[in-house]
Amino acid sequence: MRRRYNISFTKAAASGNDFIIIDNKSGELDTRDIDYSNMARDLCRRRVSVGADGLLVLEDSDEAVFRMRIINPDGSEVAMCGNGARCSALYAAVCGWGEDLTIETGSGVLRARARGNNVKIKMSDPKDIKLGVNLGIGHNITTVHYINTGVPHAVHLVDDLEGYKVKEIGRRIREHTLFAPEGTNADFIGDIKGDSAALRTYERGVEDETLACGTGAAASAVILGLLGYVSSPVKIRTRSGDILTVHYNKAGDKVADVYLEGTANVICDGRV
């Protein structure tokens, strides 16, 4: 950690995604003009700081119980994070803000339900779906399926998920000119059995493989449904080994009412 902030935080995790939560619902931090991008770059570094997949800043909202801002470890701010929303909902329930609540995000207002450590959120409807997109990756053509589940995802089905070069290929998909300038998250799906599959994700902003990705699980489940591999509800096994359940309604090529469900836990409270 490069500096002292004199700010309390809570660390929480959902299916292997861990987050530093800063509670500014009261607005008391507004007078301090905090640069949350620099804070995320500092605090999210592993082994030399608190370490996390992202920084969540919770603020007051006129549209919902609270507003959730998501800042990646590289300092970029994104519109949505499924597991971050589940961690925030768990934190809100622990704080007594309610077990059935609403969360304002950059992708719209979400509904959440926390029952103990089980947290289920209703996500925004998927958009910008493009199936069968061929990308030039080196000397190879890689077929991905594009979808936005609050943030962009490129989903690629692979035969050997365990042995796949997720970090190398994921970075090249993430930086592909077709997705410029914002880039995309890259999801790799394998081991499809019944209505379940395994997922590995290279996350934009983290710039590495993560143990789980909520919007990636939703993206992968929906794409698998559109391709005819699975039916809702879909069980997605994350890299951490935890299972995320994705529920949705599909009518032809239209998908709506997407829910993401799984466990979340508060790890610790601290001060930085």
The total number of structural domains that make up the chain: 2
pLDDT at residue 46 greater than cutoff 90: yes
Are 63 and 86 found together in one domain?
A: yes
Average pLDDT over residues 117-131: 96
pLDDT at position 3, please? 80
- Quote the mean pLDDT of the chain: 96
Are 131 and 234 found together in one domain?
A: yes
Catalytic residue among 81, 87, 95, 268: 81
pLDDT at residue 140 greater than cutoff 90: no
pLDDT tens, residue by residue, 176-212:
999 999 999 999 999 999 999 999 999 999 999 999 9
pLDDT at position 169, please? 95
pLDDT band at 138 (very low <50, low <70, confident <90, very high): confident
Determine the structural domain holding residue 142 and report its residue range: 127-258
Distance between CA atoms of residues 189 and 167, nearest Å: 14
Chain-centroid distance of CA 86 in Å reads: 9
Can you name the residues that pair with 209 across neighbouring β-strands?
A: 202
Residues 6 or more apart from 83 whose CB is under 8 A from it?
14, 15, 17, 19, 212, 213, 214, 262, 264
Contact 34, 43 (CB under 8 A): no
Share of the chain above pLDDT 70, in %: 100
In a domain, 1, yes or no: no
In a domain, 98, yes or no: yes
Q: Model pTM?
A: 0.94
Are 143 and 235 found together in one domain?
A: yes
In a domain, 170, yes or no: yes
Looking from the CA of 122 toward its CB, the CA atoms found within 13 Å total: 12
Element (H, E) at 215: helix 214-226
Catalytic: 44? no
In a domain, 214, yes or no: yes
Are 85 and 137 found together in one domain?
A: no
Are 116 and 131 found together in one domain?
A: no
pLDDT at position 139, please? 82
Catalytic residue among 44, 87, 213, 268: 213
Query: Which residues of the chain form beta strands (DSSP E)?
Result: 8-14, 17-24, 54-59, 66-71, 77-78, 100-105, 108-115, 118-122, 127-137, 140-148, 152-157, 185-193, 196-203, 208-210, 234-237, 243-251, 254-263, 265-271
pLDDT at position 2, please? 75
Are 176 and 150 found together in one domain?
A: yes
Distance between CA atoms of residues 270 and 267, nearest Å: 10
Average pLDDT over residues 114-119: 97
pLDDT tens, residue by residue, 202-257:
999 999 999 999 999 999 999 999 999 999 999 999 999 999 999 999 998 899 99
Are 79 and 164 found together in one domain?
A: no
Are 169 and 211 found together in one domain?
A: yes
pLDDT at residue 1 greater than cutoff 80: no
Average pLDDT over residues 13-37: 95
CA dihedral sign, ordered 269, 216, 248, 180: positive
Are 182 and 219 found together in one domain?
A: yes
In a domain, 2, yes or no: no
Are 108 and 159 found together in one domain?
A: no
Task: Please report, for the domain that includes residue 141, its CATH number.
Answer: 3.10.310.10
Are 132 and 177 found together in one domain?
A: yes
In a domain, 3, yes or no: no
Are 132 and 114 found together in one domain?
A: no
Can you name the residues that pair with 164 across neighbouring β-strands?
A: none
Task: Tally the residues of the chain.
Answer: 272
